[in-house]
Amino acid sequence: MDAENFAAQALSLYNSIVRAVYAYCGDETLAQDSAQEALARGWQRVDAGASIDSLQAWTMTVAFNWCRSELRRSESRLRDTAKSERLNNEGHAVELAVQSNRSTILSHETLEILLTLPERQRQVLALHYLVGMDIAAMAEVAGISQGAVKNALFNGRAAMRSRLLLEDHTGDTR
């Protein structure tokens, strides 16, 4: 399959992946990198005749894997950076460093709040709201049981609700 044909078929898939991974990691460059790597691999495997039950689930999983690997590597590096800079000793250094690594200054409060949630909740909420995946598909991509997906979805929504209400309230009183 040539590039134009594959790109035509994969355009909406690319957009889904890049949105979801960006909402998961908050880094534009990393999200684009992850989406392109995943689709390039998916294209290659399709051409080679490999069986991919669901190109969407497979490429989405590869994109999250890629993103997570890069985050883990950079998290370690940035932890050391933060340590050397002695931001403080109360465990905030990692978060500050990781946030400072984001290539975009986030200006959207809902996305900012989402990025403060635990990793699993971020992933599931991103897949639910940005890709529209059902529970089974999310479980496949996230590599967890459907029960764990429901838990993450429930807890993530509850956290978002309370945080958004808090933000709204704070905004009203300013």
Partner 1 sequence: MTDQHDDLDRRLAEDLIAATEHLTHTDTSCLATLLQSRRESLSTTGDSPDTDPVHETPFLHPNSRGRRSPRFWPSVAAALIVVSGVIGAVILANSRPSQRVSTNPGGSSNNTGPKDAPEPSTGFEVLGQGWHEIDLGPVPRGAVYSTTWYHGRLIVAASDFTARGDLGWTTALWSYDPGVGEWTELPAPDLNSIEITAAGDHLVAVGVEPTDEINYPPWMVLDHWATWTDGDSEWTARGEIPRSPQLVAAGVSPVGPDGANLLIWTGNELLDFTQGSVLSPATGATRPLVLPDNLVDFGDLLSSEPVFTGTKVVWPSPSGRQGLAWSLSGDEFWTIPAQPNGGTDASGWSHLTTRVFAVAGSAVVLDSYPGNEPRTSGVRVTRVDPDTGTETPLDPIENLPVPGCIAGAVTSEDRLLVVPCASNDRAGTPLVLRDGKWSETVQVPDAKTMTVASRSVTLTTAGNSVVLFSSLVPGDWLHTDRSTDEWKPRAAVWVPG
Segment 124-163, which members bind partner 1 (CB under 8 A)? 125-126, 129-130, 141-145, 147-148, 151-152, 155, 157, 159-161
How many residues form the binding site for partner 1 (CB under 8 A)? 92
Minimum CB separation from partner 1 for residue 35, in Å?
Answer: 9
How many other C-beta atoms are found inside a 10 Å radius of the C-beta of residue 110? 13
Q: Residue 120 interacts with partner 1 (CB under 8 A)?
A: yes
81 binds partner 1 (CB under 8 A): yes
Q: Which of residues 20-79 bind partner 1 (CB under 8 A)?
A: 22-23, 28-29, 31-34, 36-41, 43-45, 48, 50, 58, 61-63, 65-66, 68-77
Smallest distance from the beta carbon of 42 to partner 1, in angstroms? Answer: 9
